[in-house]
């Protein structure tokens, strides 16, 4: 009796709170970048300007989580709850999937209409285009990225200076630097062998032996896997372990712990993506640090960032395009670089933050030579976990480089044959 | 009734063991229990010590060291970032509603099955239990389409209905096994006095069953509080989300912020911990409810 009145009272509260919104002329915008990241800071500032220039519109921003959009992104986009514009994870399994399901609005007209074609080049659109099957690289434009990301070696400048070392520009110089640190009793490379950075090191090394044909075939799932680059990469990695450039227990280490070895000043080098820039900028206080690219002839592990997409259910597509234009404007591209982000279209001369200046310049360099090699797990669904597992096996010594390359080839060729 | 069984159960060990004669064994057990206690407390310690550490301190000294100075910025940051007071309210509303509705459904089911002696009651129980064994991932799409069709997608009511039903399956099982051993004489006496079924339920069965109902309700509350997948999928708007969903804020696509994560874990588990401490006695009784049968 008492219980049932309580239940009804609670039910009433729930119903009213659920019906709280339903306003005219609102603009709903979501993103899931961390509020403290370069993107988060920049977008928050841009949103203030956006609100000010659209005083008659109620702008509702929600900070989403990557986990939520990963788990239920297509369900949300397929409902009335979809926002007017949102950040969405790039790639076939995510943006490609919802594009092929018809849940997004094409941005083909806006691309020329809004003048984005004068800011972006075709190479930066590779991940914006998805075909009818949701495969990137061709088809209509479904999303626009306003930043980039790439894998590079973070290095401790103080430790390099103390050891009298220069920034390596070839693989031999990198190995020589490792040797010099090793001789001084320092384990040079922090490696998350059980995590993403392990496969990024592997791919960076593979790209030292990769040409245009190999990368295009590999990412496009166009031919059975030519294992030569992976064989070289695997051999190099176990050499590094054998020579003590990498600590023996790296196999079980996750990225946050490997990054910790770098930020705490134990290891002078950590190879990972530019998403670390924000964390390193704010948490490294007692030494100078910088970035250099793993020396490769052309390709680096990297890509354009996540996409801004406009859901089919968006009632304010024009405002959504206006938002994307704002983020691509020189003002916010520069702002983003000044916050330590990797801007796509910033003029390095106008950027004052050395971290962002360097990142924008390096990304421009890679993009201009069409050297974005993307990530090694992209071509095959579920390849991410396979790579994590096999790299761990390689570092533990349960797989020889030949077995390692053979097992990757098997998974890859199965997917290639059955696509 | 339940209290008398409680004391008799509790009295048994004293009669069987004479502690003074097993001195070394006693110390061994104490050492083992202390060790287990440390294992249990260790994650709490990690969450506590890292949540009051600055990120610079963490970056330099790692997760295991004690904080060099108390820094509550991670806790404050997470509280504001997640709009945590709102999330607490949401979780409390949802969990409480599920506890109340779930217990009511369980009670009515169990009354029919345990006291009413419905034909095929065993089969009904098995079917209900199958309901909780099905992984949530496999029912998430049907639930999503049903919620959309009824206009309940992105409302807390959807989550309340789903969990009240799922959890009442377990509640029905537990309560009907308690009720099947309910003394017939009491019910017969009530019938003799002219009570109808409704009156028997509310005026005879419920008062006797109250401790068990409290236990089941407490379990429902804690389970619902800790649920992740269904709230994640069903509650789209931030204003409707629960504490466990908000904890996802600390993990990005490529990055995670360890001190923020520790702060989120600490804030996330604190309410259930407090709730547990308050209802500790009810829960211990719950262990006995299972043992009575």
Q: A161-168 long-range CB contacts below 8 Å, 24 or more apart? A: A163/A268, A167/A290, A167/A292, A168/A292, A168/A295
Level-2 CATH architecture, domain A26-147+305-328: 3-Layer(aba) Sandwich (3.40)
* Tokens standing for residue A350: 């106008």
| Average pLDDT over all residues of chain B | 85
Using the predicted structure, report yes or no on whether residue A21 has a pLDDT greater than 50.
no
Using the predicted structure, report yes or no on whether residue A25 has a pLDDT greater than 90.
no
Contact (CB<8Å) B248/A282: no
pLDDT of residue A130: 94
Using the predicted structure, report yes or no on whether residue B11 has a pLDDT greater than 50.
no
Using the predicted structure, report yes or no on whether residue A299 has a pLDDT greater than 60.
yes
pLDDT of residue B15: 46
How sure is the predictor about A5, in pLDDT bands with cuts at 50, 70 and 90? low
* Tokens standing for residue A102: 């018809």
Q: pLDDT tens digits, residue range A130-154?
A: 999 888 889 999 999 999 999 999 9
User: Which of A9, A10, A77, A198 is the best mutation test for B, with the most CBs of B within 10 A?
Assistant: A10
Q: Comparing C-alpha atoms, which of B40, B26, B66, B56 is closest to residue B258?
A: B56
pLDDT of residue B22: 64
Tell me the nearest-neighbour CA distance from B240 into chain A, angstroms.
Answer: 7
**In this structure, are residues A274 and A182 in contact, taking their beta carbons and an 8 Å threshold?**
no
How sure is the predictor about B3, in pLDDT bands with cuts at 50, 70 and 90? very low
Using the predicted structure, report yes or no on whether residue A19 has a pLDDT greater than 50.
no
What's the average model confidence in pLDDT over A203-229? 93
pLDDT of residue A24: 56
Q: At A267, phi and psi to the nearest 5?
A: -110, 135
Using the predicted structure, report yes or no on whether residue B14 has a pLDDT greater than 60.
no
- The pTM (predicted TM-score) of the whole model is 0.80
CATH number of B83-292: 1.10.3720.10
| Average pLDDT over all residues of chain A | 89
Report ipTM (2 d.p.). 0.76
Q: pLDDT tens digits, residue range A83-123?
A: 999 999 998 888 999 999 999 999 999 999 999 999 998 88
**In this structure, are residues B175 and B289 in contact, taking their beta carbons and an 8 Å threshold?**
no
Q: Give chain B positions within 8 Å (CB) of A284.
A: 59
Q: Comparing C-alpha atoms, which of A15, A315, A25 is closest to residue B151?
A: A15
Q: Give chain B positions within 8 Å (CB) of A34.
A: 252, 255, 257
pLDDT of residue B134: 86
Structural domain boundaries in chain B:
83-292
**Of B39 and A21, more confident:** B39
Fold of A150-302+374-417: D-Maltodextrin-Binding Protein; domain 2 (3.40.190)
Contact (CB<8Å) A66/B240: no
Q: DSSP for A142-195?
A: -EEE-BEEEEEEEEEHHHHHHTT-PPP-SHHHHHHHHHHHHHTT---EE--TTS
Tell me the nearest-neighbour CA distance from A185 into chain B, angstroms.
Answer: 20
Q: Comparing C-alpha atoms, which of A16, A262, A41 is closest to residue A155?
A: A262
Residue A143 neighbours by CB under 8 Å, 6+ apart: A88, A90, A95, A99, A104, A107, A127, A128, A307, A308, A309
Contact (CB<8Å) A18/B156: yes
d(CA A338, CA A369): 24
Do A26-147+305-328 and A150-302+374-417 show the same overall fold?
yes
Using the predicted structure, report yes or no on whether residue A292 has a pLDDT greater than 90.
yes
Q: How many helices (H) and strands (E) does chain A have?
A: 17, 12
What's the average model confidence in pLDDT over A154-181? 95
Tell me the nearest-neighbour CA distance from B60 into chain A, angstroms.
Answer: 4
* Tokens standing for residue A174: 């990198």
Note whether A101 contacts B: Cβ–Cβ < 8 A: no
Q: pLDDT tens digits, residue range A336-382?
A: 999 889 999 888 788 888 888 889 888 988 888 889 999 998 888 78
């Amino acid at each position: 009796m008492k219980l049932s009145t309580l239940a009804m009272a609670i039910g009433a509260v729930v119903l009213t709170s659920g019906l709280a919104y339903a306003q005219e002329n609102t603009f709903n915008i979501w993103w899931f970048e961390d509020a403290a990241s370069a993107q988060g800071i920049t977008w928050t500032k841009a949103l203030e300007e956006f609100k000010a220039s659209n005083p008659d519109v109620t702008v509702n921003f929600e900070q989403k989580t990557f986990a939520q959009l990963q788990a239920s992104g297509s369900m949300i986009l397929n409902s009335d709850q979809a926002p007017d514009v949102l950040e969405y994870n790039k790639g076939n399994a995510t943006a490609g999937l919802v594009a092929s399901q018809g849940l997004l609005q094409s941005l083909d007209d806006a691309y020329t209409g809004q003048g984005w074609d004068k800011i972006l080049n075709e190479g930066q659109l590779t991940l914006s285009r998805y075909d009818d099957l949701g495969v990137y690289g061709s088809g209509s434009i479904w999303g626009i990225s306003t930043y980039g990301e790439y894998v590079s070696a973070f290095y401790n400048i103080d430790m390099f200076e103390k050891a009298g070392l220069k920034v390596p520009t070839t693989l031999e110089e990198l190995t020589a630097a490792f040797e010099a640190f090793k001789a001084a009793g320092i384990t040079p490379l922090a490696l998350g062998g059980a995590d993403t950075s392990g496969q990024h090191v592997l791919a960076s090394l593979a790209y030292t032996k990769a040409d245009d044909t190999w990368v295009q075939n590999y990412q496009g799932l166009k031919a059975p896997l030519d294992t030569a680059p992976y064989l070289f990469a695997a051999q190099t990695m176990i050499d590094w372990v054998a020579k003590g450039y990498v600590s023996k227990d790296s196999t079980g280490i996750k990225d946050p712990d490997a990054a910790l070895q770098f930020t705490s000043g134990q290891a002078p080098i950590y190879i990972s993506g530019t998403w670390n820039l924000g964390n390193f900028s704010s948490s490294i206080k007692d030494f100078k640090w910088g970035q250099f690219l793993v020396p490769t002839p052309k390709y680096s592990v990297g890509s354009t960032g996540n996409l801004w997409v406009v859901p089919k259910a968006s009632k304010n597509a024009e405002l959504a395009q206006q938002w994307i234009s704002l983020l691509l404007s020189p003002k916010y591209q520069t702002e983003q670089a000044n916050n330590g982000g990797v801007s796509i279209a910033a003029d390095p001369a106008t950027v004052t933050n050395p971290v962002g200046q360097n990142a924008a310049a390096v990304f421009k360099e890679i993009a201009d030579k069409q050297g974005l090699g993307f990530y090694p797990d992209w071509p095959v669904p579920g390849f991410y976990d396979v790579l994590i597992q096999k790299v761990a096996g390689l570092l533990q010594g349960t797989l020889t480089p030949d077995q390692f390359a053979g097992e990757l080839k098997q998974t890859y060729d199965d997917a290639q044959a059955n696509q | 009734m339940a209290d008398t069984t409680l004391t008799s159960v509790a009295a048994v060990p004293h009669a069987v063991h004479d502690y003074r004669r097993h001195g070394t064994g006693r110390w061994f057990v104490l050492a083992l229990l202390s060790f287990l206690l440390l294992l249990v407390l260790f994650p709490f310690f990690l969450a506590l010590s890292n949540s009051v550490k600055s990120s610079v301190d963490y970056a330099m000294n790692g997760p295991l060291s004690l904080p060099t100075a108390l820094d509550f910025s991670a806790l404050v940051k997470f509280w504001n970032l997640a709009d945590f007071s709102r999330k607490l309210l949401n979780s409390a509303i949802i969990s409480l509603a599920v506890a109340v509705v779930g217990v009511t459904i369980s009670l009515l089911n169990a009354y029919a099955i345990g006291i009413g002696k419905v034909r095929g009651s065993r089969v009904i129980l098995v079917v209900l239990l199958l309901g909780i064994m099905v992984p949530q991932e496999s029912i998430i799409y049907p639930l999503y389409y049903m919620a959309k069709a009824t206009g309940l997608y992105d409302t807390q009511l959807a989550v309340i209905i789903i969990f009240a039903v799922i959890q009442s399956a377990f509640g029905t099982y537990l309560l009907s096994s308690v009720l099947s051993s309910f003394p017939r004489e009491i019910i017969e006496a009530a019938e003799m006095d002219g009570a109808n079924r409704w009156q028997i339920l509310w005026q005879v069965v419920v008062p006797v069953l109250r401790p068990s109902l409290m236990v089941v309700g407490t379990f429902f509350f804690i389970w619902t509080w800790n649920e992740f997948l269904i709230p994640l999928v069903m509650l789209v708007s931030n204003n409707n989300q629960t504490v466990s969903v908000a904890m996802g804020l600390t993990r990005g696509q490529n990055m995670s912020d360890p001190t923020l994560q520790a702060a989120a874990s600490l804030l996330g588990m604190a309410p259930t911990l407090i709730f547990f401490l308050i209802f500790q006695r009810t829960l211990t009784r719950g262990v006995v409810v299972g043992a009575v049968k």
